[in-house]
């Protein structure tokens, strides 16, 4: 015997053996193997499944965490609990697509370079606003710290890797080529110093150094190994130093026992 009502379909294979099912998604299917023995299940994960081993003994559970679990040992005495109270079942959403591409850190620095230079200029103007007042040693320390951080963290790393060229005059990191003297002139200009970067870059490396340092703060060395010379500079203390060689100009960044030369490219 078959009985069909809406989407519900039931069949009886014999006395007391009733089976019902619903054809829709997550449909509930129930069967009775004998008097008082009801079993229900659903094909949708997290849907409710119920069974009864005898009259008044109903047990319901769900496979989805946080879904409702109910049981009753006596008719009219129903107890329900949830592993995550009040948590609705989340919809089945596709996992977000993961990007496999990452921006090169150096390219990120170069992209933000103009913004960093503009911010540095604004901070420089702010520090210089009170220059007509009595000299404030703390203001000089703040300015030095600001310039050193910008040079180490933004300017020099952005320029690293820019191709060297004997006649190179690039004014933007990574775009075109640049000669070592013009590199120093451009970096110093970007720090906020009023210089003609191209005219400065055409000078001999010794003259570039003399432009920014008094004679008593210039270390000159002849006939020494590079290791001894670097050790002598490192002994001066942490900082970024202008370096003038016979055929090269660069910076030496001293931080503790670490010394880096930028640019590293020699003509």
State pTM to two decimals.
0.58
Above 50 in pLDDT, residue 254? yes
- Ramachandran class of 158: left when φ > 0, alpha when ψ lies in -120 to 50, beta otherwise: alpha
Residue 154: its pLDDT value, please? 94
Tokens 């020699």 belong to residue: 266
pLDDT of residue 103 exceeding 70, the answer is yes
Q: 47-51, 114-118, 250-254 — which is least confidently predicted? A: 47-51
Q: What is the pLDDT of residue 1?
A: 36
- Name the band, by pLDDT with cuts 50, 70 and 90, for residue 153: very high
Question: Is 119 in contact with 154 (CB distance < 8 Å)?
Answer: no
| pLDDT surpassing 60 at residue 227 | yes
Confidence label for 28 from pLDDT (cuts 50, 70 and 90): low
| Per-residue confidence (pLDDT) for residue 83, from 0 to 100 | 52
- Hey, what are 150's tokens? 């910008």
- Name the pLDDT band for 137 (thresholds 50, 70, 90): confident
pLDDT digits (tens, 9 = 90+) for 173-196: 999 999 999 999 999 999 999 999
Q: What is the pLDDT of residue 82?
A: 47
Distant-in-sequence, close-in-space partners of 202: CB < 8 Å, separation ≥ 6: 181, 182
Q: Cβ distance 51 to 69 under 8 Å?
A: no
Q: Name the pLDDT band for 45 (thresholds 50, 70, 90).
A: very low
Q: Give the tens place of pLDDT for each residue, 193-221.
A: 999 999 999 999 999 999 999 999 999 98
Domain ranges of the chain: 2-79, 105-262
- 35 band by pLDDT with thresholds 50, 70 and 90: low
Q: Which residue has the higher pLDDT, 3 or 125?
A: 125
Instruction: For 107-116, write each residue's pLDDT tens digit.
Output: 999 999 999 9
Contacts 24+ apart (CB under 8 A), 161-167: 161/106, 162/263, 164/263, 164/265, 164/267, 166/267
216 versus 94: which is more confidently predicted? 216
The pLDDT-based confidence of 22 (bands split at 50, 70, 90) is very low
Which pLDDT value is given to residue 23? 53
Name the token pair of 189: 């200009």
Mean pLDDT of the chain: 75
Q: Specify whether the backbone of 26 is left (phi greater than 0), alpha (psi in -120 to 50) or beta.
A: left
User: What pLDDT does residue 63 have?
Assistant: 56
Q: CA–CA separation, 44 vs 17, rounded Å?
A: 24
């Amino acid at each position: 015997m078959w009985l069909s009502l809406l989407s519900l379909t039931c069949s009886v294979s014999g006395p007391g053996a009733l089976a019902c099912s619903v054809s829709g998604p997550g449909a509930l299917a129930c069967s009775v193997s004998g008097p008082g023995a009801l079993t229900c299940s659903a094909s949708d994960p997290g849907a409710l499944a119920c069974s009864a081993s005898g009259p008044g003994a109903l047990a319901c559970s769900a496979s989805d965490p946080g879904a409702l679990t109910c049981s009753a040992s006596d008719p009219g005495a129903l107890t329900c609990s949830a592993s995550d109270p009040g948590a609705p079942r989340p919809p089945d959403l596709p996992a977000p697509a993961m990007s496999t591409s990452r921006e090169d850190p150096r390219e990120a620095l170069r992209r933000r370079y103009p913004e960093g230079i503009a911010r540095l200029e604004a901070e420089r103007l702010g520090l210089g606003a009170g220059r007509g007042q009595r000299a404030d040693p703390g203001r000089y320390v703040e300015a030095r710290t600001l310039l050193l951080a910008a040079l180490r963290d933004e300017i020099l790393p952005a320029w690293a890797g820019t191709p060297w060229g004997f006649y190179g005059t690039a004014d933007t990191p990574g775009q075109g080529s640049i000669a070592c003297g013009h590199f120093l002139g451009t970096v110093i200009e970007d720090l906020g110093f009023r210089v003609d970067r191209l005219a400065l870059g055409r000078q001999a490396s010794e003259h570039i150094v003399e432009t920014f340092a008094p004679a008593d703060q210039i270390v000159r060395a002849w006939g020494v190994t590079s290791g001894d010379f670097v050790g002598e500079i490192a002994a001066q203390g942490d900082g970024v130093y202008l370096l003038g060689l016979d055929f090269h100009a660069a910076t030496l960044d001293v931080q503790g026992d670490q010394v880096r030369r930028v640019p590293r490219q020699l003509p």
